[in-house]
Structure 1
Amino acid sequence: MKSQDIRKAYLDFFESKGHLIVPSAPIVLKDDPTLMFNNSGMAQFKEFFLGNGTPKSPRIADTQKCLRVSGKHNDLEDVGFDTYHHTMFEMLGNWSFGDYFKKEALAWAWEFLTEVLKLDKDRLYVSVFEGNPSENVPFDQDAFDIWKQYVSEDRIILGNKKDNFWEMGDQGPCGPCSEIHIDLRTDAERAAVSGRELVNADHPQVVEIWNNVFMEFNRKADGSLEKLPAQHVDTGMGFERLCMAMQSVTSNYDTDVFTPLIEKVEQITGKKYTNNEIKNISEEQNKTNIAIRVIVDHVRAVAFAIADGQLPSNTGAGYVIRRILRRAIRYGFTFLNTKEPFIYQLVEVLSNQMGAFFPEIVAQKNLVSNVIKEEEASFLRTLDQGLQLLENVVAETKGNEVSGEKAFELYDTFGFPKDLTALILKEKGMSFNEGEFEKSMQEQKNRSRAASEVSTEDWNVLVPGNVETFVGYDQTENEVKITRFRKVDSKKDGKLYQIVLDNTPFYPEGGGQVGDKGALVSANETIEIIDTKKENNLILHFAKSLPENVNGSFVAKVNADLRSHTASNHSATHLLHQALRSVLGTHVEQKGSLVAPNYLRFDFSHFAKVTDEELQKVEDFVNVRIQEQLPLIERRSIPFAQAIEEGAMALFGEKYGDNVRAIKFGESMELCGGIHVNNTADIWHFKITSEGAVAAGIRRVEAITNDAVKQFFAAQESALKEIKETLKNPQDVIKSVVSLQDENAKLKKQIEQLLKEKAKNLKGELASQLQNINGVDFLAVQVDLDANGAKDLAYELGQNKDNLFLVLATAADDKPMLTSYISKELVESKGLNAGQVVRELGKYIQGGGGGQPFFATAGGKNPGGIKEALEKAVEFVK
């Protein structure tokens, strides 16, 4: 069976069992602060397991895009080295929310594998939880008895807590699980060693393919377990591993999930991949195979993340995506000899393979390709820079071992991979200190972990079963009661309380809009609400303290000024989106936004700088819509399909329900859950403050509205007034400034000419000061020139000499600079290096620099160190 047929067979089977088939949620999570990425099939259903929401159906099935490259689930460093780990993978899943339980789940799993797919029963093993007396969790007798109906007892394996007890996190729903493993070895291998002995032993051909989790318990903060009010089933089957079993191969990479991508890499690079059946390959071929596996795996993760709205960046989820892509680029660079971007060409293949089931990869194909191509080009430049930096480190190293701290600096600051450093050093007969590297790495991890450490107490539930209501679209204050609260302690924010109300006017952070601030007010006290967020379908109000009487009645008051300014910016964002599509073209799509009270930020797809003329047109377009006084037309519960049919804009990477909220101002119509003005006139005025690139093919506009524009214009007026006064109040300010610029340009030219003449005059004076030391004409001296003058002078002095070693120091505007010139003959005959000279001497002026072996410069902060630097220079020739 082809992979597309296997996926379809799974979904058809569970649809026949009464399951609602739902699409995959985005791979990038935007409404769960506890996770960066969807790392399991159940992530999008957490609120149902926690009892904070009601699913569309008690039975659901899907295939979910998952990414495991951060936090607890991190397979990144295994990818490529074995045949069954991946960064992105598909997880086939079926769920029961308080409906069927173990009997049906296990029976259907066995039926699908053995009757629908007709896998060999003799190759299958199952496992059940052996129990944990210390936590008062018994042996899973029910699962054991159910499995005895289908397999002999010698194929039922008892598993410990690590293998057969699944937990959502340190706290929350959990329960025993029953796994299904398959033995794909040859008949001879199976006869020699029982597959039972190899289950959960990391054997590449005896692998887990399906896990049935039975959610029975809730893990509390103190580690104890309590029974959940309802029992749930959460299953996950590795799609790629299932394809391996169905296609009679012993590697996921030999299935048709990956072979088209591998063939494209072979075509581009001229390197050949050997499948898993071929044994005793050379070390070089093994490295080629690993590199190709890394590339075809990683491009899937990166492409789907970008399609879902997560661009590579230097922080958070974007940094993880950049790191995955750079790992792929580096493997190509090192082992496939690819020095030009090529991974972006795989997106077309991926789109053809998976587009039928995941339409986002087709719709976003051009953007994904362009972003990957630019990221490749950028990192290849970084690798070139890193190679030069590594050469410098090698030149400074005495002996054969480079400092581990230096190697870590290359890795941490410049993104230069550790194993590439090791490879290059090995070729030079050198190495780096692994212990020092790992120590530096651990110190950084400890700092990062300490900054993000959070301890969360259990919920104190005051009103069980309450369903929170959001009333913030209609009012900014309301009478409320607290239904639950808990304490959260973090290194970053200190001690805070999360408070849940029976109803709330506070808008939780989401859709780019920041969370509301305000207060809970009673007759006796006021509790400040410093932020509002949403987690697992609960609106959390953050406060530094709790009310004295948590059971009392309160008035929840949103900060109305901040709310109105935020609403103004949010509505302006919609108009901006419309304006950009009107002025630049309908290829423009929103790729990110931030809506705060003081400004708005809008990221969008566009592959050229937006010109000043285009920006003015965009600004004018929005302001015309403001002047038209367009009323807000809001539809709070409209079927998604109907909203799209009527022209509403939906964003890729967002998760929409069956019914959505549509916001319309004139011709602008978008799906949006945020807060908006009642009329565009309330925005007052729109002003763009900046435009620039944030990634390949992605531009960013920042803008202001309302009071911020008034303040902007007031500041501009004040600045103009100050300029007029400085210029003695001329009638024509612009003419006066242009005149000053012309005069300044003339004076600069005169100064440059004077400095050149000064350098020429100095040439003869300095030539007479040269000292011959060990056959080298040496001079280290401070001169009264700027950096350019020092360069000209150095080249003038070296023009007719083949044994000159020169160090010139300057201190124009109290900025010390060292310039080193060494005749090329000396570089070759004596191994002198101007770059090494300035790096060493630069320490005395608290700076550094570099350049070529015959000419280099270093800037610093301490002019007082020039004298000592010049005195030390002579040691290079002595």
Structure 2
Amino acid sequence: MKTSELRQRFLQYFERQGHRRVASSPVIGPADDPTVMWTNAGMVQFKDLFLGKEKRDYSRATTSQKCLRAGGKHNDLDQVGFTARHHTFFEMLGNFSFGDYFKADAIRFAWEFVTGPVAAGNLGLDPSRLWITVFEGAEGVPADTEAEELWKAAGVPPERILRFGKKDNFWQMGDTGPCGPCSEMHYDRGAHIPGDELPNGEGDRVMEIWNLVFMQYERDGNGVLTPLPKPSIDTGMGLERTASILQGVDTNYEIDLFQPIFDAIWAVAKVKPEERREHTNRTASQVIADHIRAATFMSFDGVVPSNEGRGYVLRKIIRRALRFGRKLGIEGLFFADLAPAVFQAMGDQYPELLPEVGRIQKVIHREERQFSQTLSTGLRTLEALDVSGGALAGSDIFRLYDTYGFPVDLVEDWCRERGVKADIAGFQAELGAQRTRARAAMKTHDLRLSGDLAVLADLPQTRFTGYDHLEGQAHVVALFDAQSRRVKQLSGEGYVLLDRTPFYAQSGGQVGDHGQLRFEGGMAEVLDCTAPAPKRHLHRVAVQGTLLENMSVSAQVYTIRRRRVRAHHTATHLLHAALREVLGTHVKQAGSVVDDTRLRFDFTHFAPLEPEQIAEVERLATREALKCLPTHVNEMDIDEALASGAMALFGEKYGEVVRVVQVPGFSTELCGGTHVMNTGEIGVVKIISEGAVSAGVRRIEAVAGDMALELLQSDEAMIQGLSRQANSGREALPEVFTAKDQRITQLERELKEAKLKAASGGGSAEQVEQVKGLKLVTAAVEGLEGNALRELMDQVRTRHPDAVIALASKVAEGKVAALVSVAPGLPQDAGALFKAMLPALGGRGGGKKDLAQGGGTHPEGIPQALEALRAAL
């Protein structure tokens, strides 16, 4: 059975059981969840549903989720390639119940799908090769005898059900929150596979294929478990693992999904066909095959290699693949060329990869080139390390590995060639300490609902009216003081939750609205509006008077500020579309900030924009704005929206129903922000700056609407001021400034020549003497530095070709420049002589045997410096 058929069978089975098929979320973790870097399981996109923070119009779901486990709590990176089943990138099939069915149905579904007849859409696996594990009980939590009995009722022989402890059969979302026992399905692949005969043992013989999590408890900060009022189900079946069983192969890497990738690898590897199964070659090729899938999907989702966060993980994956490429004898750059093979293998499920393959290859290729330079840098650093004691310290090896990404095996090779011991144990200790720090950092929890704000999830949702109205009546649902403690009345600063509001809550790069809440006996200035819990708009306020719970208020957004924000937000969409038209469809939004003063737009691109390109982007965006077209905003199903061509931003979290904002004929994006009703409100779009944010990411800052007018008026005032200063019309300013620049250049040249002539004096400033049998020429001058001092040195060399020459120039108060030259054939070293002068000059510098140069801060020390030079001869 092909992997694509397995995927569809799973999803179709659960659709028949009343589940909603939900599209895979990106491998990037949700932007509004700081605790998740990657989507490492199918439940990540449903986290807020399990926590009760979000409601949807379905209570059952099924997915085939793209997952990444490379960093943080779930990190399989070091095992990838060496085992039959570990991957950094993989797909997890899952079925979920949000307070609907529980253990009985989850177990029945799983057993029926896995063992039921193939003709009925199931998998038909042999029940006698399946093992089931359940929770044996621990730390006051009873054994899951309920699940055990339900498995028996489903048809599992009692002797095929085993009990295990908390490590294997208890799941929790974090140190606090939902948790519960889990039940796993394992498959015995046969005695020909090395490993134990029972689940959770060593080796790959008995392999876990499906985990059923029964969320039935809530753990508080004291570790106390309380039964959940609505228990839920979260399951995950490994697509690649199950495919390997159905296809009768020994490892995940032998399934059909990987075949096109291996074909591409062997096409460039310097390995004979009969040697490909040899352990070292097989492991190296598996690492590369896994990593190109991970790198492709990470790059597709907008990640670019960098030294921090997600970019650092991508960098490690690419560099690890390149190191293993060397083990296969691959010379030069190759990894980016494998990306098309990923589409060939997975394009039927992910057709959106095709138009992005070129951009993905550019991202990877850029890192490949840089890593070649990294290897050179690492080698230079390695050569400079102290190994005089016969050993290379573990801390030095770790610094090479962590800072430069330098391969440890290359360090070991370098040490062996020189008879030096590599302290690998010390390196491992440093690496372990780093992992401990990383694990500790990953234990942070979601602080958005800390303290009394946690009650927001249980309070009624706020009805947002601000798309159509900027003012309206509302009632106070809850009040919190400045320390986020819930109160019944509020004076001074704090937070207000309303039942309805026209205030936009900060989201998607757009800032929260400002305005006022007016009530009987007082008013509150709204300083910001956020949504710590979905659809709960929390207003940060400064209250004059006393605000009470359940009080009626009149809410009013500041109209001018909202109008400016709105213009900038729609202008951002225009800029995005214009950038894609001018630069190419590889351009994708990588972040934005939209407020009332300006817009900031980050996007994927690999080079600075040329002035002509910036001008063209401005022209296209402004042209669309000045067409004065009405914008179209529609709500539609997420799948329908994406099928219509609407652009989604990776990392953003979308519900099943989304808003599609369209500038007809030019831009269509998913966006929950506020926008102009007519593009004429935007007026001119003017780019203020363009620059780099990180490797492969550029940033534009721009203004539109009122703020564009303010910028143009400011620029006009500056031009008029320059015209008055130059006593010239504005049209003549370029010629005036060009003439002034030419005149300044000429005067600087004449001044330099005059200084040089005065300093040289035909040689009158030179002091010629014999020191230790050598001809020494010295001169102390003023006003010369850089090229001028070097020109003077050339003149002195012409007059004294066989001498040691030292020139020192007082450039200004607190600044001195100096040069030392040694004639060819003389044994002295100019660099060493110059170093003898430096203490007296209070400076630094150096050079080669024939010429050294530098400067300092003590021009009064010139006589002592020249004396030190004499002593050093």
Report the AA paired with residue 617 of structure 2: V
Structure 1 position 130, deviation (Å): 2.1
Query: Is the 8 Å Cα contact of residues 69 and 89 (structure 2) preserved in structure 1?
Result: yes
**Relative to 1, partners in 2 of residues 1:275 and 1:54: Cα closer, same or farther, differing over 3 Å?**
farther
Partners of 2:53 and 2:204 in 1: CA distance: 40
Give the Cα separation in 2 of the matches to 1:582 and 1:10.
40
1:121 is matched with 127
Q: Which amino acid aligns with 2:58?
A: S
Q: Letter of the aligned partner of 1:512 in structure 2?
A: G
2:256 aligned counterpart, secondary structure: coil
* SS state at 1:248 partner: coil
- C-alpha deviation, 1:141, in angstroms: 1.4
Query: Aligned pair 1:296/2:289, yes or no?
Result: yes
Percent of aligned positions that are identical? 36
Q: Residue 636 of structure 2 aligns to a residue in which SS?
A: strand
Choose 1 or 2 for highest CA Rg. Answer: 2
| Counterpart contact for 1:464–1:483, Cα < 8 Å | no
Q: Secondary structure at the match of 2:257?
A: coil
Q: 1:452 and 1:341, CA in 2 relative to 1: closer, same or farther beyond 3 A? A: farther
Q: Alpha-carbon deviations, 1:584-614, whole Å to 9, x = none? A: 6677655554323322233456677644334
Quote the Cα distance in structure 2 between the aligned partners of 1:780 and 1:655.
73
Q: 1:408 touches 1:437 (CA, 8 Å); kept in 2?
A: no
Render the CA deviation track for 1:440-478: whole Å, top value 9, x for unaligned.
975995899499787533655389462332222123455
d(CA) in 1 for partners of 2:413, 2:541: 52
**Residue number among 477, 481, 485 corresponding to 1:482 in the alignment:** 477
**2:132 pairs with 1:140:** no
**Alignment-derived partner of residue 492 in structure 1:** none
* 1:661-689 Cα deviation digits (max 9, x unpaired): 23334534423221112333332432111
- Partners of 2:590 and 2:810 in 1: CA distance: 47
- Using the TM superposition, give the Cα deviation of residue 164 of structure 1 relative to its aligned residue in structure 2, in angstroms: 1.7
Distance 2:401 2:393 in 1: 13
Residues 415 and 271 (structure 1 numbering): CA distance in 2 closer, same or farther, change over 3 Å?
A: same
Distance in 1, matches of 2:394 and 2:854, equals 25
| TM, length-normalised to structure 2 | 0.80
C-alpha distance in 1 between matches for 2:138 and 2:53? 29
1:36-89 Cα distance to aligned partner (Å, 9 max, x none): 321210111123222343444333212100112333223333334444322221
Task: Give the Cα separation in 2 of the matches to 1:206 and 1:807.
Answer: 80
Q: Report the Cα distance in structure 1 between the residues aligned to 2:436 and 2:181, rounded to whole angstroms.
A: 36
After superposition, residues 482-631 of structure 1 pair within 5 angstroms as 482=477, 501-516=498-513, 523=521, 526=524, 529-530=527-528, 532-533=530-531, 535=533, 539=537, 558=557, 560-580=559-579, 590=589, 592-604=591-603, 610-631=609-630
Q: What is the match of residue 663 of structure 1?
A: 661
1:831-850 superposed matches below 5 A = none
Q: 1:311, CA displacement in angstroms?
A: 3.3
The answer to whether the Cα contact below 8 Å between 1:759 and 1:792 also exists between their aligned partners in 2 is: no
Q: Is the contact between residue 69 and residue 77 of structure 2 (CA under 8 Å) also seen in structure 1? A: yes
In structure 1, the residue matched to 2:341 is 349
| CA distance, structure 2, for counterparts of residue 243 and residue 849 of structure 1 | 66
- Indicate conservation of the 8 Å contact 1:262/1:273, yes or no: no
Q: Is the 8 A contact 2:93 2:237 kept in 1?
A: yes
For 2:648 and 2:143, the matched residues in 1 are separated by 49
Deviation at 1:250, TM superposition (A): 3.6
Structure 1 residues 503 and 717, CA gap change in structure 2 (3 angstroms): same
- Identify the residue that residue 215 of structure 1 maps to in structure 2: 215
Question: Is the 1:31–1:510 contact (alpha carbons within 8 Å) kept by the matching residues of 2?
Answer: no
Deviation of the 1:372 alpha carbon: 1.3
Does the aligned pair in 2 maintain the 1:375–1:696 contact within 8 Å?
no
| Alpha carbons 1:780, 1:806 under 8 Å: kept | yes
What is the aligned counterpart of 1:457 among 441, 451, 458? Answer: 451
Q: Deviations over 1:842-864 (max 9, x none)?
A: 9999999999999888899x669
Separation in structure 2 between the aligned mates of residue 705 and residue 340 of structure 1, nearest angstrom:
47
Equivalences, count: 846
Output the CA distance in 2 between the equivalents of 1:38 and 1:642. 24
Aligned pairs (5 A) from 1:706-721: 706-720=705-719
For 2:234 and 2:63, how far apart are their aligned partners in 1?
12
Shift of residue 264, structure 1, vs aligned partner: 1.9
Distance (Å, rounded) in 1 between the aligned partners of 2:736 and 2:31: 55
Distance 2:770 2:364 in 1: 57
Q: Describe the superposition over 1:253-303 as per-residue Cα deviations: whole angstroms up to 9, x where unpaired.
A: 33333343233223223246999986xx5xxx3xx5444333222221221
CA distance in 1, matches of 2:5, 2:188: 22
Q: 2:389 & 2:864 partners in 1: Cα distance? A: 25
CA RMSD of aligned residues (A): 5.2
Partner of 1:735: 735
Give distance in 2, aligned partners of 1:42 and 1:808.
73
In structure 2, the CA distance between the partners of 1:647 and 1:123, relative to structure 1 (3 Å rule), is closer
Q: Are the aligned partners of 2:684 and 2:705 in contact in 1 as well (CA < 8 Å)?
A: yes
Spell out the pairing of 1:270-419 with structure 2 (5 A cutoff). 270-271=270-271, 281=279, 285=280, 288-332=281-325, 335-336=327-328, 338=330, 340-391=332-383, 393-394=384-385, 399-401=389-391, 414=404, 416=406
Matched with 1:106 is 107
Any conservation in 2 of the 1:254–1:276 contact (CA below 8 Å)? Answer: no
Q: Hey, what does 2:461 align to over in structure 1?
A: 467
Distance across 1 between alignment mates of 2:552 and 2:391: 69
Give secondary structure in 1 for the equivalent of 2:137.
coil
Gaps of 5+ in 2: 117-121, 485-492
54 and 854 in structure 1: CA distance in 2 versus 1, 3 angstrom threshold: farther
| Cα shift at 1:351 | 0.4
3-state SS, counterpart of residue 659 of structure 2: strand
The residue correspondences of 1:86-101 to structure 2 (distance < 5 A) are: 86-101=87-102
Identify if the C-alpha distance between structure 1 residues 437 and 59 changes in structure 2 by more than 3 Å, giving closer, same or farther.
closer
- 1:70 match: secondary structure: coil
Q: Is contact 1:96-1:233 (8 Å) kept? A: yes
User: Who is 1:186 aligned against?
Assistant: 191
Question: CA–CA distance in 1 between the matches of 2:755 and 2:584?
Answer: 52
- After superposition, the Cα gap between the structure-2 partners of 1:684 and 1:770, relative to the gap in structure 1 and judged at 3 Å, is farther
Contact between 1:28 and 1:37, CA under 8 Å: does it hold in 2?
Answer: yes
1:681-720 alignment, distance < 5 Å: 681-692=680-691, 700-720=699-719
For each residue in 1:549-608, what CA deviation from the matched residue of structure 2 results, as whole angstroms up to 9, or x when unmatched? 556555555555543322111111222234445556677655554323322233456677
| Structure 1 match to 2:50 | 49
Name the SS of the counterpart of 2:311 in structure 1: helix
Decide whether aligned partners of structure 1 residues 325 and 562 sit closer, same or farther in structure 2, where only a CA change above 3 A counts.
farther
Change over 3 Å in CA distance of 1:746–1:162 after alignment to 2: same
In the superposition, the TM-score normalised over structure 1's length comes to 0.80
CA distance in 1, matches of 2:763, 2:186: 83
Specify the SS of the correspondent of 2:237: strand
More divergent stretch after superposition (99-108 vs 215-224): 215-224
Cα shift at 1:350: 0.1
| AA at the equivalent of 1:58 | S
The 1:719/1:765 distance shift into structure 2, 3 A limit, reads same
Alignment of 1:641-660 (within 5 A): 648-649=646-647, 657=655, 659-660=657-658
Distance 1:595 1:435 in 2: 46
Deviation of 1:412 after TM superposition, in Å, equals 5.8
Corresponding position: 1:168 with 2:162: no
- The amino acid of 1:577's aligned partner reads H
Deviations 1:7-40 (A, max 9, x none): 2232233233333322211222344323232121
Q: Secondary structure at the match of 2:39?
A: coil
User: What are the ranges of 5 or more consecutive residues in structure 1 without an aligned counterpart?
Assistant: 490-495
Q: For residues 101-132 of structure 1, what are the alpha-carbon distances to aligned partners after superposition, in whole Å with 9 as ceiling and x for unaligned?
A: 21221222223223343334343222212223
- Stretch moving more, 443-452 or 499-508: 443-452
- 1:53-68 to 2 correspondences below 5 Å: 53-68=54-69
The one-letter code matched in structure 2 to 1:300 is R
